[in-house]
């Protein structure tokens, strides 16, 4: 026994010696040489790292522990002797709730256990063990303690963790995947329903992402998605919220305990702004956008299926409204979605059935008022719906991949009709990013010019900066081919996105079109738009380019553009888009001079609202007509002689109630001021921050469900058992004339 110390032999003798009633009475005691061999085998086993041993006394204190465990825990073995066995482990509820409950119970019950996974109490790293133990008993049943063994399962545990993460998280962005989002949302809504709490869901997808994928390739698209995920995480930093990527360019955000639509609208606006900032991808500059749909439980859905469906409808409406917008769910989106689906189907047949036509808006020389060009706009005369606005069908055409055929048709039609115009009046045609990316565009342009016998210098192609999303070499080659044809090129909507001077440095533009957003407020004191326009004009002149100011409506704006040196004007102050026939008549003399007509000063559009709303006063609901609406109040008509200071609750429908007080009253007209201002609904309108909770309606007798459309019975809003008061005000129908009193 020269190679085994006496102290080690003693430790192992006590460890290996069975209790008198512990296991098998038939086992024969080991001889000295057998015991020595057993000790050597156990020490080799411990040294190999394959496993380790431990033992405890009847009070659960450690009496033996392998040296390798002390080393892993960064302490001396002697420091562990006498410690409770549980001191070796971190019984963390977040990691494994089952272990925390079962291991102490097993040890206290003095039961045999096998392969329980525990986390080691190591400060600087994560170590996991699988441990087993067997109680040691004397012949009379007295408990002596535990003997057991353990193995290191850190690598296995990490593999399981990685596999579990892959099953729950998106491998590209690190965000939650569809499976995790669905599971967590379902669990959250179930728990929140019992607690009568709210939870919002946002659905978001990227605008123009497909163009990045198609032009820069899928690796660039993947990198873009990673950067989008990082920006979303900066906006949504609350740990209770969760962001997921459902696939492709579609994202979902869960926001527990938020039902304030004002706050949600601000979050959505921030997301859209952040996502729309430029990206640097493999040396290329990319600009995309985002659309967001919002639904809130329990108002827009009770379970996860209903809520996600509502958020999807809101997202669909946001994209249909022109993209780069957010929308809240409302019940009328179902009919709107069906209408959009029908429009998409009908649009596929519109070109072949002669329903499309081209309208033209004059572009006028600033100094002489002479028409120098006409911009072509698509118009759709639907056989049943009448004129469908471009703001409705253009986004649908883009989404349905119909914008290319539509743009090609407009190009050919505009060239053919412009060939009839006398003199040098040009025609300007918009070219979408999808058309510009088509390598066959120069051939299409050449064919359109040749078929119409239109000189190329009379065709002006208007391009937006979205064309620069593509490969720089391909973009440059497209410019070269178009200029070889002899056509003119204009940069449209300059200033609306993230216009870069590098575009103007390399692209052979003949004109810059200044967007109308820079025109608004240009004459107001302190407004900086005039300085920006002056800079654009100066730059264009230095580059030998013309400038066109879009959207001019008032004389003060026109005079400002003249002083700033803008070359051309386009807007309602000269003419709205008109038919090809009227353009032919106006140009019959060979020259068309238009005198500007419009208001002296630009005024913001004022929306007149004519809709029925409810006014609730005490125990009665009155139907009135709302004539205008602002964030702070509204004007209603329908009640007679209401005193100033009277309080009402305005019922806008769909659970939207606003407390208001009468500030002005004259006859049947009342001006109301809201107690809490309305907020942006994402669709150019206004809505209340909060709505009647379905939980409250359920307590009052309605079934628990998402808010139905319309208003709710007054009985739901009355305290049971209280007497009903008499109506205080007479009601009139403003649409019907009242009888004259003799």
What CATH number matches the domain at 6-159, 3.40.50.2300, 3.40.50.300, 2.120.10.80, 3.30.450.20?
Answer: 3.30.450.20
Rounded mean pLDDT, 633-649: 93
Are 130 and 52 in contact by the 8 Å Cβ rule? The answer is: no
Are 289 and 275 in contact by the 8 Å Cβ rule? The answer is: yes
User: Strands 326-328, 289-297: parallel, antiparallel or unpaired by DSSP?
Assistant: parallel
**Quick one: which of 300, 320, 318 has its CA closest to 310?**
300
Number of alpha carbons in the 13 Å side-chain half-sphere of residue 546: 18
**Where does the pLDDT of residue 375 fall: very low under 50, low under 70, confident under 90, or very high at 90 and above?**
very high
How many whole angstroms separate alpha carbon 514 and alpha carbon 490? 11
The fraction of the chain above a pLDDT of 90, given in percent, is 42
**Where does the pLDDT of residue 319 fall: very low under 50, low under 70, confident under 90, or very high at 90 and above?**
confident
Q: What is the pLDDT of residues 267-286, one digit of tens each?
A: 999 999 999 888 888 777 78
How many whole angstroms separate alpha carbon 575 and alpha carbon 664? 40
How many whole angstroms separate alpha carbon 164 and alpha carbon 158? 10
Query: Residue 467: is it exposed, middle or buried by C-beta count within 10 angstroms (0-12/13-18/19+)?
Result: buried
Rounded mean pLDDT, 45-53: 77
User: Strands 647-653, 52-56: parallel, antiparallel or unpaired by DSSP?
Assistant: unpaired
Which has more confidence, 158 or 269?
269
Are 263 and 257 in contact by the 8 Å Cβ rule? The answer is: no
Q: Tokens 């309108």, residue?
A: 685
Are 620 and 714 in contact by the 8 Å Cβ rule? The answer is: yes
- Among 184-188, 350-354, 583-587, name the one with the lowest average pLDDT: 350-354
In the beta sheet, which residues pair with residue 686? 680
How many whole angstroms separate alpha carbon 427 and alpha carbon 460? 6
Classify domain 354-586 at the CATH topology level: TIM Barrel (3.20.20)
Exposure letters 720-732 (e unless 16+ CB within 10 A, then b): eeeeeeeeebeee
How many whole angstroms separate alpha carbon 286 and alpha carbon 212? 7
**Where does the pLDDT of residue 734 fall: very low under 50, low under 70, confident under 90, or very high at 90 and above?**
low
* Predicted confidence (pLDDT) at residue 335 exceeds the cutoff of 90: no
Whether the CA torsion 517, 523, 527, 533 is positive or negative: it is positive
The SS3 assignment for 251 reads strand
**Where does the pLDDT of residue 27 fall: very low under 50, low under 70, confident under 90, or very high at 90 and above?**
low
* Predicted confidence (pLDDT) at residue 98 exceeds the cutoff of 70: no
Domain at 169-331, CATH class: alpha beta
Structural domain boundaries in the chain: 6-159, 169-331, 354-586, 611-717
DSSP labels for 307-349?
HHHHHHHHHHHHHHTTSS-EEE--TTHHHHHHHHHHHHHHHHH
Phi, psi at residue 736, to the nearest 5°?
A: -110, 135
Looking at residue 609, what DSSP letter applies?
-
H helices, E strands: number in the chain: 22, 31
| Helix 178-195 × helix 154-168 angle, to 10° | 80
**Where does the pLDDT of residue 718 fall: very low under 50, low under 70, confident under 90, or very high at 90 and above?**
low
Rounded mean pLDDT, 599-623: 77
Phi, psi at residue 506, to the nearest 5°?
A: -110, -30
The SS3 assignment for 47 reads helix
* Predicted confidence (pLDDT) at residue 99 exceeds the cutoff of 90: no
Are 135 and 146 in contact by the 8 Å Cβ rule? The answer is: yes
Which has more confidence, 227 or 653?
227
**Quick one: which of 244, 234, 276 has its CA closest to 173?**
244
How many whole angstroms separate alpha carbon 14 and alpha carbon 136? 12
Q: Provide CB contacts within 8 A for 713, sequence distance 6+.
A: none
Number of residues that make up the chain: 742
Same fold across 169-331 and 611-717: no
Alpha-carbon distances of 108 from 55, 93, 103, 428, rounded to whole Å: 15, 19, 9, 87
Q: Which two tokens stand for residue 263?
A: 């706050």
Q: What is the pTM assigned to this prediction? A: 0.65
Q: Which two tokens stand for residue 254?
A: 């869960």
Q: Tokens 């009402």, residue?
A: 648
Q: Which two tokens stand for residue 217?
A: 């390739």
The fraction of the chain above a pLDDT of 70, given in percent, is 88
Alpha-carbon distances of 320 from 180, 307, 400, rounded to whole Å: 29, 20, 11
The SS3 assignment for 411 reads helix
CATH number of 611-717: 2.40.10
How many whole angstroms separate alpha carbon 677 and alpha carbon 377? 39
Distance between alpha carbon 619 and the CA centroid of its chain, in Å? 42
Give the CA dihedral 430, 425, 415, 350, nearest 10 degrees. Answer: 60
Q: Tell me the three-class secondary structure of 97-136, residue by residue.
A: HHHHHHHHHHHHHCCCEEEEEEEECCCCCCCEEEEEEEEE
- Among 186-195, 427-436, 454-463, name the one with the lowest average pLDDT: 427-436
Q: Which two tokens stand for residue 165?
A: 């993460």
Q: Which two tokens stand for residue 376?
A: 């072509």
CA angle 668, 669, 670 (to 5 degrees): 125
Residue 719 CB: number of other CB atoms within 10 A?
6
Are 461 and 376 in contact by the 8 Å Cβ rule? The answer is: no
Looking at residue 593, what DSSP letter applies?
B
* Predicted confidence (pLDDT) at residue 7 exceeds the cutoff of 50: no
How many whole angstroms separate alpha carbon 307 and alpha carbon 391? 28
Are 530 and 575 in contact by the 8 Å Cβ rule? The answer is: no
Q: Provide CB contacts within 8 A for 639, sequence distance 6+.
A: 615, 622, 624, 668, 670, 729, 730, 731, 732
Q: Tell me the three-class secondary structure of 618-653, residue by residue.
A: CCEEEEEEEEEECCCEEEEECECCCCCCCEEEEEEE
Helix, strand, coil shares, percent, the chain, to 5: 40, 25, 35
Q: Average per-residue pLDDT in the chain?
A: 84
**Quick one: which of 298, 427, 291 has its CA closest to 358?**
427
Q: Provide CB contacts within 8 A for 606, sequence distance 6+.
A: 628
Alpha-carbon distances of 319 from 214, 348, 377, 417, rounded to whole Å: 20, 19, 21, 33
Q: What is the pLDDT of residues 205-221, one digit of tens each?
A: 998 888 788 777 888 89
**Quick one: which of 570, 600, 216 has its CA closest to 360?**
570
User: Strands 89-90, 62-65: parallel, antiparallel or unpaired by DSSP?
Assistant: unpaired
**Quick one: which of 38, 41, 88 has its CA closest to 64?**
88
Alpha-carbon distances of 266 from 146, 233, 272, 292, 424, rounded to whole Å: 61, 16, 10, 12, 50
Q: Report the side by side order of strands in the sheet with 128-137.
A: 62-65, 52-56, 143-152, 128-137, 113-120, 89-90
Residue 29 CB: number of other CB atoms within 10 A?
8
Q: What is the pLDDT of residues 561-596, one digit of tens each?
A: 999 999 999 999 999 999 999 999 999 888 899 999
């Amino acid at each position: 026994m020269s190679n085994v110390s006496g102290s080690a032999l003693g430790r192992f003798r006590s460890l290996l010696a069975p209790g008198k009633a512990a296991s098998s009475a038939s086992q024969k005691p080991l001889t000295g040489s057998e015991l020595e061999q057993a000790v050597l085998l156990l020490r080799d086993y411990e040294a190999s790292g394959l496993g380790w041993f431990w033992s405890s006394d009847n009070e659960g204190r450690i009496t033996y522990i392998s040296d390798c465990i002390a080393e892993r825990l960064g302490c001396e073995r002697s420091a562990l002797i006498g410690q409770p066995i549980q001191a070796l482990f971190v019984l963390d509820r977040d990691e494994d709730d089952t272990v925390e409950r079962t291991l102490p119970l097993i040890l206290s019950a003095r039961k045999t256990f096998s392969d329980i996974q525990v986390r080691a109490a190591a400060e600087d790293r994560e170590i996991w063990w699988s441990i087993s133990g067997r109680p040691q008993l004397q012949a009379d049943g007295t408990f002596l303690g535990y003997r057991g063994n353990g193995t290191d399962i850190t690598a296995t545990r990490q593999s399981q963790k990685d596999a579990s993460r892959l099953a729950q998280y998106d491998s590209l962005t690190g965000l939650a995947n569809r499976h995790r989002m669905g599971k967590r949302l379902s669990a959250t809504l179930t728990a929140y329903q019992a607690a009568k709490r709210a939870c919002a869901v946002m659905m978001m997808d990227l605008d123009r992402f497909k163009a990045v994928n198609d032009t820069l390739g899928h690796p660039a698209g993947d990198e873009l998605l990673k950067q989008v995920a990082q920006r979303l995480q900066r906006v949504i930093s609350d740990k209770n919220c969760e962001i997921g990527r459902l696939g492709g360019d579609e994202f979902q955000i869960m926001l527990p305990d938020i039902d304030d639509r004002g706050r949600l609208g601000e979050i959505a606006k921030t997301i859209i702004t952040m996502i729309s900032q430029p990206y640097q991808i493999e040396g290329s500059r990319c600009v995309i956008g985002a659309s967001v749909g919002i639904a809130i439980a329990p108002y827009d859905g009770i379970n996860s299926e209903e809520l996600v469906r509502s958020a999807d409808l809101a997202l669909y409406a946001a994209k249909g409204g022109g993209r780069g917008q957010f929308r809240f769910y409302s019940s009328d989106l179902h009919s709107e979605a069906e209408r959009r689906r029908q429009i998409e189907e009908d649009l596929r047949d519109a070109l072949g059935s002669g329903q499309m036509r081209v309208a033209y808006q004059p572009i006028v020389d600033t100094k002489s008022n002479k028409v120098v060009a006409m911009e072509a706009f698509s118009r759709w005369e639907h056989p049943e719906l009448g004129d469908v606005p471009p703001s409705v069908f253009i986004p649908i055409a883009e989404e349905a991949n119909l914008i290319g055929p539509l743009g090609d048709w407009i190009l050919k039609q505009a060239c053919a009709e412009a060939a009839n115009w006398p003199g040098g009046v040009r025609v300007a045609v918009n070219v979408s990013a999808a058309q510009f990316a088509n390598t066959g565009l120069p051939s299409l342009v050449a064919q359109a010019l040749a078929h119409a016998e239109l000189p190329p210098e009379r065709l002006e192609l208007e391009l937006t900066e979205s064309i620069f999303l593509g490969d720089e070499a391909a973009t440059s080659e497209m410019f070269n081919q178009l200029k070889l044809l002899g056509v003119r090129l204009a940069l449209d909507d300059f200033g609306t996105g993230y216009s870069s001077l590098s575009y103007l440095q390399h692209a052979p533009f003949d004109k810059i079109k200044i967007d109308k957003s820079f025109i608004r407020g240009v004459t107001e004191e302190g407004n900086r738009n005039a300085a920006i326009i002056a800079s654009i004009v100066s730059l264009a002149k230095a580059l030998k380019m013309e400038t066109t100011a879009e959207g001019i409506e008032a004389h003060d704006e026109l005079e400002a553009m003249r002083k700033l040196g803008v070359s051309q004007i386009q807007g309602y102050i000269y003419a709205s888009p008109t038919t090809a026939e009227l353009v032919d008549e106006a140009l019959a003399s060979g020259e068309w001079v238009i005198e500007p007509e419009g208001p002296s000063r630009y005024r913001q559009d004022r929306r007149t609202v004519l809709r029925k709303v409810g006014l609730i006063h005490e125990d009665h609901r009155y139907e009135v007509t709302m004539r205008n609406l602002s964030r702070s109040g509204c004007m209603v008509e329908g009640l007679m002689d209401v005193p100033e200071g009277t309080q009402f609750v305005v019922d806008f429908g769909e659970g939207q109630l606003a407390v208001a007080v009468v500030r002005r009253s004259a006859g049947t007209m009342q001006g109301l001021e809201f107690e809490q201002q309305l907020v942006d609904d994402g669709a150019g309108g206004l809505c209340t921050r909060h709505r009647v909770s379905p939980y409250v309606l359920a307590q009052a007798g309605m079934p628990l469900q998402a808010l139905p459309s319309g208003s709710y019975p007054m009985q739901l809003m009355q305290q049971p058992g209280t007497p009903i008061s008499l109506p205080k005000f007479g009601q009139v129908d403003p649409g019907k004339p009242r009888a004259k009193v003799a």
